[in-house]
Amino acid sequence: MEPSSPTLHVFAISAVTTGDTVTVTNPGGQTSVAGTPVNLQIQASGSAPQTLTYSARGLPAGLSINSGTGLISGKPTTVGASTVTVAATDTAGATGSVTFTWAVVAPVCRVTYKQAQYHKPVLGYRFYLVMIDITNTGNAAIPGRWNLKFTFNEERGIVRNPNGYVVSPTTGRNMTVTEDKGVGISSNSTVNVSILTYYPTTPTSTPPAASFELNGKRCAS
């Protein structure tokens, strides 16, 4: 009996692709002020209903991305320009990405904010003295008739402002303090704005978030 010949079995293996695609919306070039909070939501979607995981390269120092939500947050710490690439990947491995620039500039001002209860409640209203220090961190003087815009965390009413600055409006969340006497802020100097406010219940203890703008330019806080 002749020995049997070995049998050659050939298996064809084909690669299977899901066909999924992930699209990330480019947020465009970003400019932030050093020391000022950042919240940038990255938008992405997939052709299949799958969970997306986010990642980023090249973010300015002090910023990070939430891998589950795509929210970039933090406070940039270093002045300079960065090239940022953000990617989103679905559970099947499909990935989409975008690249954009992110510039971090030096602040022209820095604001510190605090408040203290002024006296006991009267007729159900609580009175709080809001104290805002504005420091000119730039190399040039800020000219007089400047204005500082900010936002309270809740509706407030203005009783008076001991410093004599003009505060408007007299009620609401969005306020503007205006220096109307032509007195500027010299480089590396600080001015104080004190405002007596009232509120029907106890206000939050945290300051307005990322909302200080001096002459239209964001201040670090």
The answer to whether 142 touches 148, Cβ cutoff 8 Å, is no
| 158 in a structural domain | yes
Distance CA 125, CA 63 (A): 40
* Same domain membership, residue 113 and residue 205: yes
Q: What CATH number is associated with residue 71? A: 2.60.40.10
Domain encompassing residue 195: 109-218
Tokens of 174: 């969005």
| 5 in a structural domain | no
* Same domain membership, residue 118 and residue 94: no
| 11 in a structural domain | no
* Same domain membership, residue 130 and residue 83: no
With pLDDT > 70 as the criterion, what percentage of the chain qualifies? Answer: 85
Q: Give the model confidence (pLDDT) of 9-44 as tens digits.
A: 444 443 344 578 999 999 999 999 888 889 999 999
| 6 in a structural domain | no
Q: What CATH number is associated with residue 188? A: 2.60.40.290
Assess whether pLDDT exceeds 60 at residue 207: no
The answer to whether 37 touches 75, Cβ cutoff 8 Å, is yes
Helix (H) or strand (E) holding 199: strand 190-199
Q: What is the pLDDT of residue 204?
A: 57
* Same domain membership, residue 119 and residue 214: yes
Distance CA 21, CA 46 (A): 6
Instruction: Give the lowest-confidence range in 56-65, 80-89, 107-116, 205-214.
Output: 205-214
Q: Give the model confidence (pLDDT) of 148-163 as tens digits.
A: 998 887 788 888 776 7
Section 120-145 average pLDDT = 84
| 2 in a structural domain | no
